[in-house]
Amino acid sequence: MREEKTAFIRLAKRTDMDPRKVWMIRVGSIVVALLLGFVPMLLTGTNPIEAYGVIISGSLSRPVYIRQTVRTAIPLLGCALAIAPCFKMRFWNIGAEGQITMGAMAATYFALYWVGKVPSPVLLVIMFLAAAIMGGLWALIPAFFKAKWNTNETLFTLMMNYIAIGIVAWLQGGPWEGRKGSQLIPMFDDAARLPEVLGVNCGWIMVLVLTVLMYFYMNKTKHGYEIAVIGDSVNTARYAGMNVGWIIMRTMFISGAISGVVGFIFVSGANHTLYSGVADGVGFTAITVAWLSQLNSFAMIVISFVLAVLEKGSNTLQTRLSVPASIADIITGILLFCMLSCEFFINYRLIFRRKTKEEVAS
Amino acid sequence: MSTLIALIVAAVTFGTVLMYGTLGEILTEKSGNLNLGVEGIMYMGGAFGLAGAFYYEKAAGAAASGPVAIVIAILCAIAAGMAASAIYSFITITLRANQNVTGLALSIFGTGIGQFVGEYMRVSEGGYVALGNGLKDAFNATVFPQALINIPVLGRILFSHTVFFYLAIVLAIVMHLFLKRTRWGLYLTAVGESPSTADAAGINVTKYKYLATVIGGGISAIGGMVYIMTTAGCVWNHEGLAGVGWLAVALVIFCMWRPLNAIWGSVIFGAMMIMYLRVLIPFIPTELYKILPYIVTVIVLIITSMRNSRDKQPPASLGLNYFREER
């Protein structure tokens, strides 16, 4: 055996960092991420400063653009709120996409077949409730198996996405098809459309209300506390007498219900019809939003808006400088990498090897 | 009969794609790292593999040789996959970030990069990026002589596939022997089962985790390249590739972390993926037919979680980071 030297860098846990410093590190990591975003642009011969300029101006320079950006941010925020409790519980729900789709499907059913039978506000309320219940039930399926047999929820929820999308694709070309052969579900009647407030569908009010509600739910209620305990340690929760399976199912139902409502906002507020790609990747991007904001409801408002700017701006970037719009995904990915990495410097202290042996021994 | 043979051949073609993805992820998960970024890795492998072969053809012109193009495509894909999983490894192993979220981030990042490269090639080359017919044939050619393929029934089932299929089989067997018969393979298994025990026994946990994850990523990436070169017809096609990486992750569970099971497992899944094109079942609409593989995956997930036999479990430390100072 050879004598091991003390490692050049050692690590130690720390818990006592100044909160201001913590946020400085986080903001710093976002800046680093944006700078790293220069790399793909430089490699493809685009001026990064100009590109970021186009992203900003393409999403914020005119009221029309701002409205479009807000429209993009609404479902992101709503869905991030849905995902937050699951992730807090360390339940990896990546099935928001499917829960949105199923919620949208339930809302569409009533929009198509109950229109004219009930007054518009009643219809909208029914659609809202149907979407929430359907989204919740869809999320309950993987939660049930997780609670009962500890089935891998990551893959289960993911597979449920494809199943939900497949079902809507079938409805689109089959039973709910409008004109035969069109492969399209007819546009909603005006009675089934969400009214607009300030030029954007009133979904934005709903998600802002939800933000406040979610903040209180997670931080001020017994349910929120139980979720946090399970996230830290399932065994602690069990010893404390919590019914872990029940809490998992309840939380997933709430999460799915919120995603379902996002689906309702999609069909009733934005698209006015249903198609299989209705969720449009929001379920995945929302994971980014939730994690970047450290599962803090109010930070989610900012982050979802930033990502909406990125997404809307990248589309402009594609048309103006012919940089592929997928640059938004790359930058989002880099943002996440940097945020994940910076937690290391918040949680651990690096100790460098000192010069003399005596000092190491002491 | 001929329909059945055609189905099997098509299933093997698609199954080959899944097999690489699955084999790579098995190696990764054996070290205790759950890399959910396979989707992104396969996108990157597909885009860079195509780019490598395309620019090689452009540089070599008419002199471009098939075998060289295949080797270049494989190497480019492996390099892309290794780079992607090196990012994952650094963030999860060295910086100890959550594996699930890092994997998801890699999925977003990798699909973005793959799309970006595919789109950028299309724009910069002025429209259509595809390999010439000569190379296309090379990628889709079989390695066995025509005489063997002409053997009735068995000939086409066994000998009519591309070189990638046979490479994948060899890889699966090599991996099986590596994991079961070599010291390093057993060390790797030990690291995945109980890193602290392995560490106490003097095994360099960090090294094994890094190597397994990075090499695994390289193997998975070949799958994306194979998809682009065979099924997609040597053209960038992101829609067809969507979801394949996730299926590969699910297949790892289906195969019980055993490389040899990946051979038949991926062919079965390949069959389910293309069956709606070949075998029509009356009364079942195509769109519902297409979700069959996902429903089967869900059922497999449930069944494997229900029967709790001891030898059919994931590596015990799967998804958990190892921190020596934390006991």
d(CA B140, CA B69): 12
Q: Which residues of B touch A170 (CB under 8 A)?
A: 285, 287-288
d(CA A308, CA A74): 9
Q: CA of B34: which chain A residue's CA is closest? A: A154
B 97-156 residues with CB < 8 A to A: 97-98, 100-102, 104-113, 115-116, 119-120, 123-124
pLDDT at A292: 83
For residue B37, name the pLDDT band (cuts at 50, 70, 90): very high
d(CA B167, CA B304): 29
Selecting from A156, A324, A344 the residue whose C-beta is nearest the C-beta of B119 gives A324
Q: Most B CBs within 10 Å: which of A152, A289, A323, A349, as the mutation test of the B interface?
A: A152
* Helices and strands counted in chain A (H then E): 15, 4
Q: Do B96 and A344 touch (CB under 8 A)?
A: yes
Judged by a CB distance cut-off of 8 A, whether residue A233 touches chain B is: no
Question: Mind giving me the DSSP string for B148-201?
Answer: HHTSTTHHHHHHSSBHHHHHHHHHHHHHHHHHHHSHHHHHHHHHHH-HHHHHHT
Q: Do A324 and B302 touch (CB under 8 A)?
A: no
pLDDT at B308: 67
Selecting from B91, B290, B326 the residue whose C-beta is nearest the C-beta of A337 gives B91
Q: CA of A175: which chain B residue's CA is closest? A: B285
Q: Which residues of B touch A154 (CB under 8 A)?
A: 36, 100
The tokens of A138 are what? 């869809």
Q: Which residues of B touch A329 (CB under 8 A)?
A: 108-109, 111-112, 115-116
Over residues B38-60, the mean pLDDT reads 91
pLDDT in 10s for each residue of chain A, 362 residues: 455 556 677 777 777 777 888 888 888 888 898 888 888 888 877 788 888 888 888 888 888 888 888 888 999 999 999 999 999 998 888 889 999 999 999 999 998 888 878 888 899 999 999 999 999 999 999 999 998 888 888 889 988 998 999 899 888 887 888 777 777 888 888 778 887 777 777 888 888 999 999 999 998 999 989 999 988 888 888 888 888 889 999 999 999 999 999 999 999 888 888 888 888 888 888 988 898 888 888 889 988 998 899 888 888 888 887 788 888 889 889 988 998 888 888 888 777 766 555 544 44
For the segment B123-178, what is each residue's pLDDT rounded down to a tens digit?
777 777 777 777 888 887 787 777 777 777 777 777 888 889 999 999 999 999 99
- How would you label B185-205 residue by residue, b for 16+ Cβ within 10 Å and e otherwise? bebbbbbbbbbeebbeeebeb
Other CB atoms within 10 Å distance of the CB of residue B276: 19
Q: B327 pLDDT exceeds 60?
A: no
Judged by a CB distance cut-off of 8 A, whether residue A42 touches chain B is: no
Consecutive H or E run containing A38:
helix A38-43
A 337-356 residues with CB < 8 A to B: 337, 340-341, 343-344, 347-348
Q: Do B295 and A328 touch (CB under 8 A)?
A: no
d(CA B11, CA B264): 10
Q: Which residues of A touch B115 (CB under 8 A)?
A: 324, 326, 329
Over residues B50-71, the mean pLDDT reads 85
Other CB atoms within 10 Å distance of the CB of residue A69: 20
pLDDT at A248: 92
Q: CA of B95: which chain A residue's CA is closest? A: A344
* Closest CA of chain A from B169, distance in Å: 26
Phi, psi torsion values for A22, nearest 5 degrees: -55, -50
Residues 6+ apart with CB under 8 A from B191: B31, B32, B198, B203, B205, B208, B209, B212
Q: Do B291 and A162 touch (CB under 8 A)?
A: yes
Selecting from A158, A166, A331 the residue whose C-beta is nearest the C-beta of B288 gives A166
Residues 6+ apart with CB under 8 A from A262: A75, A78, A79, A82, A96, A100, A103, A207, A282
pLDDT at B2: 78
Question: Mind giving me the DSSP string for A76-142?
Answer: HHHHHHHHHHHHHTT-----HHHHHHHHHHHHHHHHHHSBTTB-HHHHHHHHHHHHHHHHHHHHHHH
A 182-221 residues with CB < 8 A to B: none
Selecting from A150, A172, A334 the residue whose C-beta is nearest the C-beta of B305 gives A150
* Closest CA of chain A from B250, distance in Å: 6
Question: Mind giving me the DSSP string for B132-145?
Answer: -HHHHHHHH-BSS-
Q: Do B106 and A11 touch (CB under 8 A)?
A: no
Q: Which residues of A touch B306 (CB under 8 A)?
A: 149
Q: Which residues of B touch A158 (CB under 8 A)?
A: 246, 250
d(CA B89, CA B19): 22
* Closest CA of chain A from B134, distance in Å: 29
Judged by a CB distance cut-off of 8 A, whether residue B242 touches chain A is: no
d(CA A87, CA A296): 12
Over residues B98-118, the mean pLDDT reads 90
d(CA B106, CA A232): 25
Q: Do B115 and A329 touch (CB under 8 A)?
A: yes
Q: Do A336 and B36 touch (CB under 8 A)?
A: no
Q: Most A CBs within 10 Å: which of B257, B301, B308, B320, as the mutation test of the A interface?
A: B301
CB A293 within 8 A of CB A300: yes
DSSP state of A185: P
Q: Which residues of A touch B325 (CB under 8 A)?
A: 11-13
pLDDT at A355: 57
* Closest CA of chain B from A204, distance in Å: 26
* Closest CA of chain B from A40, distance in Å: 9
Q: B208 pLDDT exceeds 60?
A: yes
Q: Which residues of B touch A351 (CB under 8 A)?
A: none
Q: B241 pLDDT exceeds 90?
A: no
For the segment A114-170, what is each residue's pLDDT rounded down to a tens digit?
887 888 889 999 999 999 999 999 999 999 999 888 888 888 998 899 899 989 988
Residues 6+ apart with CB under 8 A from B208: B31, B187, B188, B191, B198
pLDDT at A1: 44
Q: Most A CBs within 10 Å: which of B106, B129, B291, B326, as the mutation test of the A interface?
A: B291
pLDDT at A79: 94
